Structure 1
Amino acid sequence: MVYTTSSLFLKSLAAAGITHAFVNWGSDHPALLEDLQRQRVESEYGGETTPRIVICPNEMVALSAAQGYAQVTGRVAAVIIHVDVGTQALAGAIHNVNRCRAPVLIYAGASPFSSSKDLKGGRNEWIMWMQDIPDQSAIVRQYMRHTAQINSGRNVTQVVNRAVQIALSEPKGPVYLWARREVMEEVVPDILYTSLHTHSTKPKLPTLVSPSGLSPTDVMTLTNALLTSERPLIVTSHLGRNQDAVAALITLSTLLALPIYCSCPSLINTPFSHPYFVGITYLVPGSPMTDKYKSDLETADVIFVIDSDIPWMPLKFAPNPEARIFITDGGDPLKTTVEMGMWEFSLHPGVELVSRSDAEVVLTQVVEGVQSRLSSSEMDGKVREEIMENVKRRAGRVGLEHEQWIEGLERIEEMGKGGSGSGEGEGMQQGQINISISQTIHALREVLSEYVPTPSLVSNGSKGLKPLILNEGISNYPFVWEHLRPEIPGTFFTSGGSSLGWSLGAAVGAILGCRKEEVSSHVNGHGDGVEHDLVVNIVGDGSFLFCVPTSAYWMARRYETPFLTIVLNNAGWRSPKLSMLGVHPTGHGSKASSGEQLSVGFRFDPATETEGSLLESPDYSQVAVAATGGWAWGKRVGVYKDLSLHDAFGQFKSTLEEAVKVVLEEKRCAVIDVVLEAL
C-alpha cells in the first residue's frame, strides 16, 4: 500500500478530532483527492472519508461554515483552499474567525517548486508559475494564531497537532498551514500511517493550555471592592464563549444584586430573564439604551469588565476616573494576540487590575470569596448588616430597571400588533403598512413559542423546539436581541466580527455540527451535545448579498441542511448612512432624498413609487429558489395595502408559521424577504 503526506495529513486531522473539512479544490490538491478516493475504494471508513468532505463553491462561505460549526460545537473544523488565490478568496471571513476566536484549521496548497521530472507533483500546468508568490502565509498571518509550512510527511502529524493545540487554547482562533504540491505527494513509510490511531469515538486532542484564575491577593481585592461598592457594574461581551461561565456570572450577580450590561455581544452571556440584566448596547450615540448605559457607567464606583472587547466608547463617554476598574480576559486582556491596535481601555486611570484569567474560574473564585467574607467570624456584625442592606436596596433598584426595560419592549410589541399606538417604523402612508423590525422579531418569537412551551426560546428540558438563532442584522442587532429575548447559552450567535457575509454559510456549518449523529458521537466544547432542530438566520439585505447566497443555498440543498432565513430588507446599507450621520448629523448627506441618491440604496428605480418598495429592489427570496433548482421555498412580504395594523401583523405571522413548517416538516430551506421602509 502506498501512503503519502496527504494520507497522513488527512488521518492526522481525524486523529486530532476534526470530523469535517469544508473544501474548495484546485490544482494543488491531486494527492488529497487521490487519497480520499483511496479511502472510499478500500472502505477504510465504511465507504466514507475522514474527515467528511463538504464541497463549498465559494471560499468565504467555506470559512463561514467552518466558523458556524466551531461556534456551535466548540470543535475545530478544517478548511481546504487553493493556493494564494483561494487564500485571498477567504475574504472577510478571515477577520470574523479571528475576532470571534473560532478554532478553525485552514490548509492551503501551494504551487510546486520543481519543474523537472525529478519529483512527483512538479509543475505541469501553466498556471503554476502565475500562482507562486514569495510568502503565501503573509496574506493571512496577522489574523492567525499560528502559521506553518508542511515541509515533510514525516512530521506532518506533529505540525497538525501543534496547530490544533494553538487553535483550541485561549485565545482560541484560526491557524493556517500550507504545503507545496511535491511535499503532499511524498511517499511515507507504511508504519507512520498504520500506527496513527484516529480514535474515532474519542479523539485524542493535544493537551491544551489550562485556564487560570486570579491570585489570592487579587481575589481579595476584587471581592472587597464589590462588597463595599454602592454602584457596582458588570460589563461583558463574550463571556458566554464558555457556557459554564454564565452560571457563575448569574450566581455572583444574584448574590450581590450586581447589574449586568452586555456591550457589543456576540452570543448569550446571561439569560434575558435574569432580574439584574439591565441592557444590551452597541454603543450607538443617541439611543435610549446607550444613554442609560452612559449614565450608569459614569456613576459606577466599581466596574468589573469580563471578556469584553469594547466596554465603552472613549470618544463619547467613559467611566469616572475615580471608579475602581477590574479587567479580566480568558486569553488576551491587552488584545495583543488578536491585534486590536490602541486598546486604551486598560489605560483608564481607574484600572486596578488587568488579568489573563478564565471567566468561569475568576467568577467562581469571587463567589467563594464573597461567601467566605460574609460568613467569616472576623467580620463585624454591623458591617455585615450594612452590606446586606446595601445589597437589598440595590436589588430593588436594579430589579425595577430590568422590569421597566422589559415592559418598554412589550409596549412596543403591543403597539406593533395594532394595540394602543402605531409602533416604531410602520411607515403608514396612503393606505400602506410596512412591517417594522420590532414587529418582525416579535412575530418570530411568538411563532417559535408555539413550538416551545415556555416564555423563552428554549425547551427547558421539555420536548419542545430547540432553535438556534444566527443574528447578522448589523444596524438592527439591538432590535433582534431585545425582541427575541434569548435565554439559553449556545442558542444565539453573531459573527463576532464586522465582516458581512457570515450567516448563511454559518447556518450550513452549524447544522452539520449539531446533527443527531454528531451529537451522539461527540461532545461539544462545553461538555454536552446539543441538537438544534431549527436554525433561524436573521440577516440584512446588504449582508445577504455578501453571504454569496447562490453558493450557500447550493450547499444547503447538497448537504440537506434546511434553515429559515429572514431578510430584513431596508433596500440598502443603513450602517454607512448612520456612520455619516454620526459625524455629519446636519450636513448635506442628512438631507438626501433617498438611499440611492446617497449611494447606499439598492432600489433599481427610486422614482417609481406606484407599488411602494415591492417592485423596486431585488427579491432575495427567489435567489435561494433559483440556486437550489426550486428546492428552497421563498416569499416576499412586509408591505400590506388597505389592512389594519392588527391584520397586517396577523398575515405576516401566518407567513412565518408557513415558513417554519417548510423547514421542520418538509426539510427545505425557507426564505422570507421582509420589505421594510427604505432608507
Structure 2
Amino acid sequence: MYTTSSVFLQSLANAGITHIFANWGSDHPALLEDLQRQRDEGDGKTASKIVTCPNEMVALSCAQGLAQVTGKPAAVIVHVDVGTQALAGAVHNVDRGRIPALIYAGASPFSSLGKMKGSRNEWIMSIQDIPDQTAMVRQYMRFTSQIESGKVAAQVIHRSLQIATSHPKGPVYLWARREVMEEEVELSAVQARTSLGKWPSVEPAALSAKAASTIAHALLKARSPLIITSHSGRDFNAVPLLTKLSNTLAIPVVAVCPSAVAVPFSHPYFLDVTYLNGRTHSHHLAKADVILVLDSDVPWIPAIQPPHPEARVFVVDSGDPLKSISAVGQWHIDAEMMCNADVVLALEGINAAVDVISSEGSASLVEQRKMELSAEHDEWVRGLDQLENTWPVDLQSGRATLPNVLGVLRRAIERQTPAAKTLVLNEGITNYPTVWKHMRTEVAGGHITSGGASLGWSLAAAVGAHMGGKGHDLIVSIVGDGSFMFCVPSSAYWMARRYDTPFLTIIINNGGWKAPKMSMMGCHPTGHGSRASGAELSVGFGPHCPDYSQIAIAASSGWAWGKRVGGDGGNVKEELESVVAEAIRIVLEERRCAVLDCVLESI
C-alpha cells in the first residue's frame, strides 16, 4: 500500500534531500509506516537518511549546520502545533541566516467519526487543533503551504525547495492533516520522477554594468575607501574575489557581525572584527570617503558612529537589500546606490570594471595605503599575540583569560591537524569578536556563526555539519556557558553518539549571561546595576554552576570525554595546554566528543 506519505518521502529524496531530522508524534503514523516499508523493500535503507532528534530546536539547528557546510537544504519533521512551537529560536536563525530548509509539520485530523483512515482516535488531537498553525512561523518563512492531496504533494515540495534555494534563501513550512497523509495512491504516483530541471532556483542576479562601473570608479578615486561585510563569505567563492579587490586597490576590509570568513585572517588589509558593542566601530568608518557594504544587515549603528556625511555609500545584497523579504521592521542605510545582486557576481563585475579602468586610478595613493594598512594589520596581530601570551601573574591561583584559551587552542590545532581540515562554530555571544580574532581562520567556510540572534545553535549545528560530509578532521564548537544550556546538550550529545559525529566543545564559562549585563551598562553605565555582580543582577549562574562537561558525558552514556579547566589551584597554563592537546587527540584518534569547561573570571 502506498500513501501520500510515500509520495512525500520519495519526492524529498528525488529533490536531493539527503537527511531528514525528525521528531515524531501522533500526526505521523503514515510516515512511520512508509519508512518501514522502505526498509523492508530496500535492505533496511530509506530513501533519505532519517535522523532521530529528541528536541525540535536541535533538529532544525542540525539542518542549519548541514546546509551551512554543503549549501544544500535538509528537511525537518515536527509534531503539529507544539512541535512547531518547539522549533523555537532556530526558526529565527535559519531565517536571518538565510539557510534553505524544508520544515514539515503534521496537523490534527479533521474527522472524528472514524470514517476516514487517520481520523481522530486519541484525546490529544482535539486540543492540538488550532485555527492557523502556520501563523506561528509564517513571518519567518519564504513560503508556506498545505499539502491537500497526494496528487499534488510532489509539486508542493518542488515549489517549496525552488523558493527556499533562491535568493534570499531561507526556510519553508509545509503542513498536512493526518487523513491526507494516509490517503492511498497508486504506485505510479510514487515512482513518478518530476524533472528537477523544471523547478530550478532563480538564477542569481548580477550587478548592472552601470552599477559595477560606478562603484569601480568611486573606489579608484577614493582617498580612504572601506569595505564592510558581514555575510559575503557564506558563498565560499566570494572570499578570493573580495581578497582580489582589496589587494588591487589596497582597501581595508572590516568584518561587522560576521557569520562567515570574509577574507583570510592573514590578508594584510583585513583590519578588524566588530560586533558594534559600545564604541567598537572601526576608526576607518569616520574617515572613509567611499564605503562598499557587502551582504551586511547592520554595517554600523548611526547613533553611535555614523559614516562621514559626505561619504559615498554603495550597498550590495544577495537578494534583499531593503530587508523587506526577511521582514525586518525599521531599517535604513543612507546610500547612493542599493544593489540587489549576488555577492559573487557583484564582485566579479566590480573586479572586471576595476581592471578595465585601473589606469585612471592613483597608483601613488594605492601604494601609500598598502604600506599604512599592512603596518596597521601587523600591529593588530601583535596586540592579539600580546593578549594571548599575557598570563596571570600567579599561575597557581589565577584563571586564564579567553585570549589565553584561544591561543592555546589554535596552536594545538595547528600542531595536530591541518588548518584547512578544521571547522569552527562560534557561539561566543559577547565574545563573538574575540573568538573570531584569536582563532585567525584562513580558509573560506572554516569559521561560521548562526547568522541570527537566538542562542542554542552550535552543538546541534556541529552534528549537522559533521553529517554534511565535507571532510573536516576536526569540528570545534566554541560556546558560552549560557548558550551551552540553550543548546539542549542532553539531546545534542545523545545524537553525537548515536550518529557517530564527534566534535570538540570549548565552553567559555564566565558564570552567567554577560549580554544582559552589557545591555544594561550601555543604558545605565553608572547606575545601581553597574556596581552589582552577576548573581545580584539575576544574570549569574553561581555560586553552584553546573559541571557542563559532565552533562555531555551523562547524555552520551559515558562516551564523551570532559574536563573542567581553571580555578582549581593548579598551574593554569600547563593544565590548559595539556588538556587541550588531550581533548583534540580524543576527537581525532578515538572519534569521541570532548568537552572542555573553561572557567574564566565570573561576571
Question: In which range does the TM-score fall when normalised by the shorter chain?
Answer: over 0.9
Say if 1:49 and 1:315 are closer, same or farther in 2 by CA, change over 3 A.
same
1:565 aligns with 2:508: no
Aligned letter for 1:446? R
C-alpha distance in structure 2 between counterparts of 1:510 and 1:485, whole Å:
20
Over residues 416-449 of structure 1, what are the superposed CA-to-partner deviations in whole Å (9 max), with x where a residue is unaligned? 3x7xxx5xxxxx59x5110110011111001101
**DSSP 3-state at the match of 2:307:** coil
Whether the 8 Å contact between 1:17 and 1:205 is mirrored in structure 2 is no
Over residues 315-344 of structure 1, what are the superposed CA-to-partner deviations in whole Å (9 max), with x where a residue is unaligned? 211111211000010110000111221111
C-alpha distance in structure 1 between counterparts of 2:28 and 2:514, whole Å:
41
**DSSP 3-state at the match of 2:173:** strand
C-alpha distance in structure 2 between counterparts of 1:642 and 1:39, whole Å:
56
1:512 aligns with 2:467: yes
1:276 aligns with 2:216: no
In the TM superposition, 1:125-524 aligns within 5 A as 125-196=122-193, 206-286=199-279, 290-291=280-281, 293=282, 295-345=283-333, 348=334, 351-374=335-358, 387-416=362-391, 432-452=397-417, 457-458=419-420, 466-514=421-469
1:603 maps to which residue? 542
Aligned letter for 1:53? I
**DSSP 3-state at the match of 1:489:** coil
C-alpha distance in structure 2 between counterparts of 1:229 and 1:247, whole Å:
22
Over residues 594-615 of structure 1, what are the superposed CA-to-partner deviations in whole Å (9 max), with x where a residue is unaligned? 21111011013xxxxxxxxxxx
Whether the 8 Å contact between 1:83 and 1:110 is mirrored in structure 2 is yes
1:576 maps to which residue? 516
1:652 aligns with 2:540: no
Relative to structure 2, which stretch is displaced further, 658-667 or 30-39? Answer: 658-667
C-alpha distance in structure 2 between counterparts of 1:21 and 1:114, whole Å:
28
Cα deviation for residue 642 of structure 1 reads 6.0
Whether the 8 Å contact between 1:16 and 1:205 is mirrored in structure 2 is no
Whether the 8 Å contact between 2:114 and 2:120 is mirrored in structure 1 is no
1:625 maps to which residue? 553
Aligned letter for 1:434? R
In the TM superposition, 1:43-192 aligns within 5 A as 43=42, 46-192=43-189
C-alpha distance in structure 2 between counterparts of 1:224 and 1:213, whole Å:
18
Whether the 8 Å contact between 2:227 and 2:251 is mirrored in structure 1 is yes
Q: Give the % identical residues.
A: 56
Aligned letter for 1:320? H
Say if 1:205 and 1:478 are closer, same or farther in 2 by CA, change over 3 A.
farther
**DSSP 3-state at the match of 2:168:** coil
**DSSP 3-state at the match of 1:153:** coil
Cα deviation for residue 118 of structure 1 reads 2.3
2:495 maps to which residue? 555
1:670 maps to which residue? 594
**DSSP 3-state at the match of 1:10:** helix
C-alpha distance in structure 2 between counterparts of 1:57 and 1:477, whole Å:
28
1:378 maps to which residue? none
1:522 maps to which residue? none
Cα deviation for residue 392 of structure 1 reads 0.7
Cα deviation for residue 640 of structure 1 reads 4.7
Over residues 107-142 of structure 1, what are the superposed CA-to-partner deviations in whole Å (9 max), with x where a residue is unaligned? 000000011232111111111100000000000000
C-alpha distance in structure 1 between counterparts of 2:198 and 2:461, whole Å:
24
Gaps of 5+ in 1: 376-382, 423-427, 459-465, 515-529, 605-615
Aligned length: 603
1:661 aligns with 2:563: no
TM-score when scaled to structure 2? 0.98
Aligned letter for 2:290? V
C-alpha distance in structure 2 between counterparts of 1:654 and 1:285, whole Å:
36
Over residues 445-494 of structure 1, what are the superposed CA-to-partner deviations in whole Å (9 max), with x where a residue is unaligned? 011010246xxx32xxxxxxx11111111011111111110111111111
Over residues 25-51 of structure 1, what are the superposed CA-to-partner deviations in whole Å (9 max), with x where a residue is unaligned? 0000000000000000111xx421121
Over residues 169-194 of structure 1, what are the superposed CA-to-partner deviations in whole Å (9 max), with x where a residue is unaligned? 11001100000000000111221112
C-alpha distance in structure 2 between counterparts of 1:173 and 1:120, whole Å:
34
**DSSP 3-state at the match of 1:265:** coil
Aligned letter for 1:442? G
Cα deviation for residue 310 of structure 1 reads 0.5
Aligned letter for 1:675? V
C-alpha distance in structure 1 between counterparts of 2:432 and 2:191, whole Å:
50
Whether the 8 Å contact between 2:2 and 2:190 is mirrored in structure 1 is yes
Whether the 8 Å contact between 2:220 and 2:358 is mirrored in structure 1 is no
1:379 maps to which residue? none
Whether the 8 Å contact between 1:16 and 1:204 is mirrored in structure 2 is no
Over residues 183-233 of structure 1, what are the superposed CA-to-partner deviations in whole Å (9 max), with x where a residue is unaligned? 000111221112327x9xxx7683111111222222221111111100000
1:463 maps to which residue? none
C-alpha distance in structure 2 between counterparts of 1:204 and 1:450, whole Å:
46
Whether the 8 Å contact between 1:305 and 1:326 is mirrored in structure 2 is yes
Say if 1:451 and 1:74 are closer, same or farther in 2 by CA, change over 3 A.
same
C-alpha distance in structure 2 between counterparts of 1:298 and 1:342, whole Å:
23
Over residues 225-272 of structure 1, what are the superposed CA-to-partner deviations in whole Å (9 max), with x where a residue is unaligned? 111100000000000111111111111111111110110001111110
Cα deviation for residue 395 of structure 1 reads 1.0
Over residues 600-655 of structure 1, what are the superposed CA-to-partner deviations in whole Å (9 max), with x where a residue is unaligned? 11013xxxxxxxxxxx3110000011111111111111125264xxxx21221110
C-alpha distance in structure 1 between counterparts of 2:597 and 2:483, whole Å:
13
Whether the 8 Å contact between 1:475 and 1:575 is mirrored in structure 2 is yes
Whether the 8 Å contact between 2:503 and 2:592 is mirrored in structure 1 is yes
Aligned letter for 2:134? S
Whether the 8 Å contact between 1:73 and 1:513 is mirrored in structure 2 is yes
C-alpha distance in structure 1 between counterparts of 2:87 and 2:328, whole Å:
21
2:14 maps to which residue? 15
Whether the 8 Å contact between 1:11 and 1:196 is mirrored in structure 2 is no
Over residues 283-320 of structure 1, what are the superposed CA-to-partner deviations in whole Å (9 max), with x where a residue is unaligned? 1114xxx25x1x31111100000100110011211111
TM-score when scaled to structure 1? 0.87
C-alpha distance in structure 1 between counterparts of 2:327 and 2:399, whole Å:
42
1:611 maps to which residue? none
C-alpha distance in structure 2 between counterparts of 1:57 and 1:441, whole Å:
32
Cα deviation for residue 568 of structure 1 reads 0.7
**DSSP 3-state at the match of 1:304:** strand
C-alpha distance in structure 1 between counterparts of 2:115 and 2:508, whole Å:
58
C-alpha distance in structure 1 between counterparts of 2:312 and 2:100, whole Å:
34
**DSSP 3-state at the match of 2:336:** strand
